[in-house]
Amino acid sequence: FQKLRSHIPLLAIFDYLYYRADDAGAEYPMRAESQKLFLDFFKEPAESPRRQREGIYNARIFGPPGKRVQIILLDTRYFRGPLNVKPREAGRSNRYLPSPDTSVTLLGETQWQWLGEQLRVPADVRIIASSIQVISAEHDSEKWANLPHERDRLFKLIRDTSAHGVVFVSGDVHRGEISMLDAGVGYPLHDLTSSGMTEGSVAKVKFPDWPNRQRMGTVDWTTNFGVIEFDWSAKDPLIRLQIRDGAGDVCLQKKVRLSELKPAPGGGARPGK
């Protein structure tokens, strides 16, 4: 980790482990203290906006015009309201059902307004990092689909801001997979989910059924990490969404042309390839 930190910039978001409570959200009483510890650990500058506001959301731009990649880091913990909890099953942590309460927020109004501003910033590709899965909706663990009105708001915001080039990255679920959905934004949305980076998952043995009709290919149950590669040399640049194992070998891959992440002429979504 020290070697990694010394060689490349680290852009991080936290999950519930920083809250010391399973799947915790805005109800956690020490969330402000957790934010400070998080920012201290990742050496956030003293003048950073993240130290002046509630929540750890942030955004960065890399690359010149024509190759500009925007990284949007969402905070899905600090403001998130209560989830709709299923009756507890023996040997399992909390499981959830979609909430019918449309007053419950995931991002909080301030972060929602900020996200709308970020989606209007000029960029060729926008990687939106979420600690929980955005596309996969059938499993009963944490996910955006537990608050379906917020998930719909996210897709609507992407459409209304005409933000092209959006790709989601997510984690949390102790397995790797690539999901794709036509969410009505004018082009297919992809979610590259990788976890965990330091240990093989035991979830396959305990909970082998992991439904996801939006999955492209199979599930990777090994120690894994995600990679996004950009080939800007082609007239229509190529993006490779990858899940790699502990040896660095590619286990899962989805190739996407940059033109496929823009609305098709005349409206409608481009088909995934």
Contact, 255 vs 239, CB < 8 A?
yes
What is the distance, to the nearest Å, from the Cα of residue 86 to the centroid of all Cα atoms in its chain? 24
For residues 16-37, b (16+ Cβ closer than 10 Å) or e, as one string?
bebbeeebbbbebeebeebbee
Task: Kindly tell me if the per-residue pLDDT of 39 is higher than 90.
Answer: yes
DSSP H or E segment with residue 157: helix 148-160
Query: At residue 58, what is the residue type?
Result: N
Phi and psi for 34 in degrees, rounded to 5? -65, -40
Contact, 211 vs 138, CB < 8 A?
yes
Query: What tokens does 226 get?
Result: 């995600």
pLDDT digits (tens, 9 = 90+) for 111-123: 999 999 999 999 9
Give residues with Cβ within 8 angstroms of 68, minimum separation 6. Answer: 61, 62, 122, 123, 124, 125
Question: Which candidate, 267, 243, 265, places its Cα nearest to that of 170?
Answer: 243
pTM across the whole model: 0.94
pLDDT digits (tens, 9 = 90+) for 194-239: 988 877 666 666 666 689 999 999 999 889 999 999 999 999 999 9
Contact, 16 vs 141, CB < 8 A?
no
